Amino acid sequence: MKCAYYERGVRRLDLELTLEDAAALPRRGNTYVWIELQDPSVTELQAVAGLFGLHELAIEDASMAHQLPKVEAFEDFTFIVFKTARYDRETRAATFGELSVFLGTGYVIAVRHGEAGDPLRTRDNLERSYPELLHGGPAAVVWGILDSVVDDYGPVVAELDRDIEEIERGIFEHGDDLTERIYVLKRETTDVYRAIHPLVQPLEAIQRGAFTGMDPALRSYFRDILDHIRRAQEEVLTQRDQLASALDANLALITLRQNEIAAQQNQVAKQLTLVATVFLPLTFVTGFFGQNFAWLERHVDSLEAFLVFGIGGLVVPAVILLLWLRGGGYTRG
């Protein structure tokens, strides 16, 4: 747990705060506390709820870490849920975390589960690049947190786009069967879309001024986040269409390959049938003359007789059979 106290928008570096200390400090306007919790236990969340008067339903949602992105208004605070995303280069897959934020008068409480961004990076970015925003109150902290979350979406979308390009090259240039990889990417793009899309409506509401008590200067900053979200959403939708087209092309390629294999197998079967058909009468002739009939022993007793009855008996039916097969078109193709 990390607690920071901002007095008139400036962080008090001389204070080492416990949760009880943060709750006891004066909090009003641009004087507020920023509390970060990483994978807290239910006991820790209940302690936070008791000190800051948070509703039990919101605490239950924050502890489960399986919520859809949403913005929910309670009587004296606003509960916000974000989905965070990060691309793992080793596994070549997107990983998701969850970030719940309680925004009330004089406090911001962030509850992070899994790979849910870097709070130190968010704080440093706000204090270094946007110190004037921190004077606007705790809503500026929410903007800073959400800005970091949205910035992390960019590399994920870019890496997914690179993976899709590799799939297209594999299909059209190398003829690889990438059905399983396509389905994995389709699931990932769907997960990214589910993380991004629910943020559009509340950000539009913020832009219209639906949240009272927020510094009007922050609206343009939230509008910038909304623009990033919309662009990312459009890119993800385009990726889903690309994957659908790639899947169709992959299945068509598999079907074509199967048809070619079937044609080759049919050709082989045809040739084997032809060979078997040719040798069938020859086998009969050799079997017949291989018997020890007395007539054969008396008449096939010279080379000439052997050539006429033996070799001739094989050649004549073979020639007749080949002429018949050729006339029927069986030896073509």
Model confidence at 294, pLDDT cuts 50, 70, 90, reads: low
Return mean pLDDT, the chain: 81
Residue with the larger pLDDT of the pair 80 and 178: 80
* Six token digits for residue 254: 């598999």
Give residue-wise pLDDT tens across range 253-274: 777 777 878 888 888 787 777 6
Model confidence at 110, pLDDT cuts 50, 70, 90, reads: very high
Give residue-wise pLDDT tens across range 12-67: 887 788 888 888 888 888 899 999 998 888 889 999 999 999 999 898 888 887 77
CA distance 25 to 150: 32
- Whether residue 79 contacts residue 102, with contact meaning beta carbons closer than 8 Å, is answered with yes
Place of tokens 């059905």: 179
Specify the fold of 2-255: Beta Polymerase; domain 2 (3.30.460)
| Best CA proximity match to 144, nearest among 170, 177, 118 | 118
Model confidence at 205, pLDDT cuts 50, 70, 90, reads: confident
pLDDT at position 14, please?
77
Domain positions in the chain: 2-255, 269-327
Residue with the larger pLDDT of the pair 248 and 280: 248
Range 157-166 contact pairs with CB under 8 angstroms and sequence separation of 24 or more? 157/192, 157/232, 157/235, 157/236, 157/239, 159/87, 159/89, 159/94, 160/87, 160/94, 160/185, 160/188, 160/189, 160/192, 160/236, 160/239, 161/235, 161/239, 163/92, 164/239, 164/242, 164/243, 164/246
Q: Quick one: angle between helices 138-172 and 179-196, nearest 10?
A: 160
Give residue-wise pLDDT tens across range 133-142: 888 888 899 8
Residue with the larger pLDDT of the pair 329 and 202: 202
List Cα–Cα distances, 24 to 21, 44, 95, 247, in angstroms.
Answer: 5, 17, 37, 59
Could you count the other beta carbons within 10 Å of the beta carbon of residue 306?
A: 13
Q: Which residues contact 225 (CB under 8 A, 6 or more apart)?
A: 143, 146, 147, 150, 203
**Mean pLDDT of the region 116-123:** 81
pLDDT at position 153, please?
87
CA distance 141 to 99: 14
Q: Classify 76 as helix, strand or coil.
A: coil
Range 16-21 contact pairs with CB under 8 angstroms and sequence separation of 24 or more? 19/47, 19/48, 19/51, 20/51
Lowest mean pLDDT among 66-80, 94-108, 268-282: 268-282
Model confidence at 211, pLDDT cuts 50, 70, 90, reads: low
| Best CA proximity match to 86, nearest among 115, 43, 51, 127 | 115
pLDDT at position 34, please?
92
CA distance 218 to 156: 26
* Six token digits for residue 122: 């968010």
Place of tokens 């489960």: 64
pLDDT at position 135, please?
87
Tell me the chain's radius of gyration from C-alpha atoms: 39
Model confidence at 102, pLDDT cuts 50, 70, 90, reads: very high
